[in-house]
Structure 1
Amino acid sequence: MVKLTLRERETAQEAVRRFRKLVERSGIKKEIRVREFYEKPSETKRRARLRAQRRNRRERMLGRI
């Protein structure tokens, strides 16, 4: 949970800007995007496997240089 306490002499715009940064850093937006639609467990595993393959391919390509 993100909590924001207003500082002395802080404008509303500054507080909103700090709040947005806190939400982004906490990963809430990313989690909401992931949970927006149901994804079958097999699809989750498949996406993780493909992500790992891309990561390995990228590491191999960078290792050759």
Structure 2
Amino acid sequence: MTQVVLGENENIDSALRRFKRQVSKAGILSDVKFRRHFETPLEKRKRKLVSARHNRRF
């Protein structure tokens, strides 16, 4: 869990900026977007095949 403790003379904007940075480094938002919808095993296999094909090309 990501946590930000406010400093004594710290304003909300800088704390929010630190929080957003920690969330992006932890990969929380990408994980939430990835798990937003249920993916069937067939869809998962197709996605992995397309990804492997794409990675092999580059």
Q: Do both proteins adopt the same fold according to a TM-score greater than 0.5, normalized to the shorter chain?
A: yes
- How many residues are matched? 58
Larger Rg: 1
Equivalent runs, 1:42-61 vs 2, <5 Å: 42-58=42-58
SS at match of 1:49: helix
CA–CA distance in structure 2, aligned partners of residues 32 and 46 of structure 1 = 21
- Identity among equivalent positions (%) equals 31
Unaligned residue ranges in structure 2 (runs of 5+): none
Q: Which of the pair is proportionally richer in helix?
A: 1
| Runs of 4+ off more than 2 Å | none
Q: Match of 1:8? A: 8
Q: How well do the aligned residues superpose, as a CA RMSD in angstroms?
A: 1.0
List runs of 5+ in structure 1 lacking aligned partners.
59-65
* TM-score normalised by the chain length of structure 1: 0.79
How far off its partner does 1:54 sit? 0.7
Pairwise CA distance, 1:8: 3.1
